[in-house]
Structure 1
């Protein structure tokens, strides 16, 4: 019981791009304009940051490619993304978390799942549920992953797990799971989720989280398209 009470709260990381037209959610165009796609990206990022702000955390880090906007809530520190491919940038994010809070678990998510359940994540990473878990893995239904957590993140472990994993392919998740297994890590599974890449994904996610900013933004865009169409 004493060990559970003394367990440090997790470091939460979100890796994201600034929601600038033409730089984010390009697979939504068409039917969306670049400005509409950026508005959806901003809504998704805001929903994600707001949800994670409700979770217990030692630190909250936004690992950002681009500039901060008024969408950033209080309580988040901003860390620039490193150079390199996404696999390298993810490893660098975990390395930064390890340097910042070496004794705390770290959980990283992207900006593409505004429907994420903060209460579920908080329960999964709670001190009572951490025992015996070395990593957390959230599969995406496109074959990738939407969340990755490490109970004891280190720069060396991140460098063994992530660089070289092919990103944005149907085999991304399987390759990462193989790396986790090769390190003999006990993995706690998080629920399957849909990343927002296409307009079909966006409609599915909005239906799952109808009260979200993302869903409201998509409804507004659909109305505007009906008017101009």
Structure 2
């Protein structure tokens, strides 16, 4: 075990709140069901990685009453923009930590284990996403600048985060670029029929 805490950041899979950009293709119920499936798949992969505690940090979780997998700690994201919520979760946890979402099927147990291993030798690791965000951010150190004044939900997120890490003079490993499922065109990577 490498001792990295995995913090899964997600919205509870509630119709009308989760995967809203997929609603035109799947409808509110279908988008929520896909979000639910990806959330549980992510929890299983995080647990199977065996690198440390697994925390599911949810938005809108009070509207959702389904059981989460045994061994996963449930926390609330709280208020504020994404940066505020990530910073709050980071400060609550101990480093090393890995932030991930639930919308990247390629972020499996093998990649999570490899990311935790990279944190043995680096201050940070980042797996960029094809859309310009990141699928994983791993940290051995914390600094508020990584979460402040970032253009969230744009194609500048990974670039800005990398620039901030470099400005801190931290060692950084940039992993392979992965693809998220955010838009209807992304559904083709699932390899099966979405709900």
Q: Fold conserved (TM > 0.5)?
A: yes
TM-score of the two chains, using structure 1 as the length reference:
0.79
Aligned to 2:28: 34
Query: RMSD between aligned alpha carbons?
Result: 1.7
Would you say 1:108 and 2:96 are equivalent positions? no
Aligned to 1:186: 171
Structure 2 gaps, min length 5: none
Residue by residue over 1:7-66, the C-alpha shift from the partner in whole angstroms, topping out at 9 and shown as x without a partner, is: 851111001111011111111121211000100110111111110010123321111112
Aligned counterparts of 2:72 and 2:81: Cα–Cα separation in 1: 24
Q: Matches of residues 1-229 of structure 1 in structure 2 within 5 Å?
A: 9-67=3-61, 68-70=64-66, 72-98=68-94, 104-126=95-117, 129-152=118-141, 154=142, 157=143, 159-204=144-189, 206-207=190-191, 215=192, 218=194, 221=195
- The answer as to whether partners of 1:87 and 1:166 remain within 8 angstroms in 2 is no
Aligned counterparts of 1:195 and 1:79: Cα–Cα separation in 2: 23
Structure number with greater Rg is 1
- The answer as to whether partners of 2:51 and 2:113 remain within 8 angstroms in 1 is no
Aligned counterparts of 2:184 and 2:74: Cα–Cα separation in 1: 29
Shift of 1:147: 0.7
Aligned length: 193
Structure 1 gaps, min length 5: 1-6, 99-103, 208-214, 222-229
Q: Secondary structure at the match of 1:13?
A: strand
Shift of 1:190: 2.0
- The answer as to whether partners of 1:144 and 1:168 remain within 8 angstroms in 2 is yes
Q: Secondary structure at the match of 2:25?
A: coil
Aligned counterparts of 2:147 and 2:74: Cα–Cα separation in 1: 22
- The answer as to whether partners of 1:63 and 1:80 remain within 8 angstroms in 2 is yes
Higher helix residue share: 1
TM-score of the two chains, using structure 2 as the length reference:
0.91
Aligned counterparts of 1:193 and 1:111: Cα–Cα separation in 2: 13
